[in-house]
Structure 1
Amino acid sequence: MQLHYLIREPKEILDKNPLLLLLHGYGSNEEDLFSFANELPQDHYVISVRAPYDLQPYGHAWYAIHFDADENKFSDNEQAKESVHLVAHFIDEMVQKYPIDAQKVNLIGFSQGAILSYATALSYPEKINKVIALSGYFNSDILVKEPNAVAISHLKFFVSHGTVDQVIPVEWARKAKPALEHLGLEVSYHEYPVGHGVAPQNFFDFKNWLTQNEHPIRK
């Protein structure tokens, strides 16, 4: 399956440039996060990818969300795992197509895109360097393989959430830090007094975190 994407090439050309891969939320599209592409570090490729599943009447999803008769919400974990594989394959394609530094591929995910970013990084740590997980939560049920402590040890996470998020409760987001730290990982966790969105201060903080944590994947 070919995934549609938008790309902003780096303004500062290196032999190989880092990549920021943007994964949008449920019901949105690749244009959403790409709207702030020019605010991101100038030496990075910025690629925003469209999720594979079409929603009606518009928008896209990484996996289906269903409601049962009691209005309990549950995720299609098999579809989510398929999307994890798709993102991993897409990264390989982009590294072959553009002069991207395979050691410096970073994910920025919002909402469902953040949930998928956690799973992709922990399932394919050899492809990912850092993860910025905005307004999502960590769902271990969609990992496609058991995390290997040595293989994932280089991963760094910036996790943020709105304290009045009406879509994904902040309590869900708070579980990510202890869960990841239990795996021996470094997590920078932040909360902001907003709903389901990215506050200006949040944007400023994760940009700073990105530039302060420049390090390649250790093989």
Structure 2
Amino acid sequence: MKHIFNKGTNADAPVLLLLHGTGGNEEDLVPLGSLISPESSILSVRGNVLENGMPRFFRRLAEGVFDEDDLKFRTKELHDFLDEAAGKYEFDRNNVVAVGYSNGANIAGSLLFHYEESLRGAVLHHPMVPLRGIQLPDLNGVNVFIGAGKNDPICPPQETEELEHLLKEAGAEVETHWENYGHQLTQPEAERAAAWFQKYYF
């Protein structure tokens, strides 16, 4: 997978896995990662799927309708890539926190839904429920931050609340932060994510 890796200054800090939104690339969330954890190494990945020329992490059939088979395939692809990257860049595979926005948050959520111990934690900005009707792995010890917009037309509040419920039911510790905006990632939301990260990981 096309990616960048920037080595951090604190070997004990979690490695941040950065996952962009639709049409983004591996450069997009680097400033966000630096805000959330300035000392962390950053592994920022570009999605392998193109939708009208725009990179994504998995295909969709329509707005808000995921291609579930492709989602499962791409989730495994990302999971395997993380294993390989940990060996290549010599970081602790068990000390990875995902930071995703929109489509990137959905693939991060899918990692949590499909693979036990795939992530130590996750910052999910405007995520949806990646897949319904499956048994989630044990997520005890996993911390999740969800950033949501009360007026988000793509990810309405009930979607956020359902995701929060499913993650908590599987044992995750979840904090949801609401903004009175739409699908955009605001500076206050990013700053709240940074404060949450510092609370749990430093």
TM-score (normalised: structure 1): 0.83
The structure having more radius of gyration, on CA atoms, is 1
Q: Where does residue 103 of structure 1 map in the other structure?
A: 94
Shift of 1:153: 1.2
Q: Distance in 1 between matches of 2:129 and 2:64?
A: 16
Q: Distance in 2 between matches of 1:183 and 1:192?
A: 26
Shift of 1:17: 4.9
Q: Where does residue 140 of structure 2 map in the other structure?
A: 153
Q: Distance in 1 between matches of 2:153 and 2:131?
A: 22
What runs of 5+ residues in structure 1 fail to find an aligned partner? Answer: none
Q: CA RMSD in A?
A: 2.1
Q: Select which of 182, 193, 199 maps to 2:169.
A: 182
Q: Distance in 2 between matches of 1:180 and 1:38?
A: 26
Q: Distance in 2 between matches of 1:175 and 1:118?
A: 13
- Indicate whether 1:204 and 2:200 are aligned: no
Query: Could you tell me whether the CA contact under 8 Å between 2:4 and 2:26 is conserved in 1?
Result: yes
Q: Distance in 2 between matches of 1:113 and 1:73?
A: 14
- Indicate whether 1:61 and 2:56 are aligned: yes
1:66-91 Cα shifts (integer Å, max 9, x gaps): 24xxxx75210111111110111111
Q: Where does residue 117 of structure 2 map in the other structure?
A: 126
- Indicate whether 1:31 and 2:18 are aligned: no
Shift of 1:142: 8.9
1:84-105 Cα shifts (integer Å, max 9, x gaps): 1011111111110113122210
Q: Where does residue 47 of structure 1 map in the other structure?
A: 43
Query: Could you tell me whether the CA contact under 8 Å between 2:14 and 2:201 is conserved in 1?
Result: no
Shift of 1:191: 0.5
Report the count of equivalent residues: 202
Q: Distance in 1 between matches of 2:38 and 2:64?
A: 40
1:94-150 Cα shifts (integer Å, max 9, x gaps): 11011312221011111111111111023222231001111111233496xx4333x
Shift of 1:43: 2.3
| Secondary structure of the structure 1 residue equivalent to 2:79 | helix
Query: Residues 53 and 142 (structure 1 numbering): CA distance in 2 closer, same or farther, change over 3 Å?
Result: farther
Q: Distance in 2 between matches of 1:18 and 1:184?
A: 21
Query: Could you tell me whether the CA contact under 8 Å between 2:108 and 2:124 is conserved in 1?
Result: yes
Query: Could you tell me whether the CA contact under 8 Å between 2:36 and 2:191 is conserved in 1?
Result: no
Query: Residues 189 and 40 (structure 1 numbering): CA distance in 2 closer, same or farther, change over 3 Å?
Result: closer
Query: Residues 76 and 29 (structure 1 numbering): CA distance in 2 closer, same or farther, change over 3 Å?
Result: same
Shift of 1:22: 0.9
TM-score (normalised: structure 2): 0.90
Q: Distance in 2 between matches of 1:25 and 1:201?
A: 19
What runs of 5+ residues in structure 2 fail to find an aligned partner? Answer: none
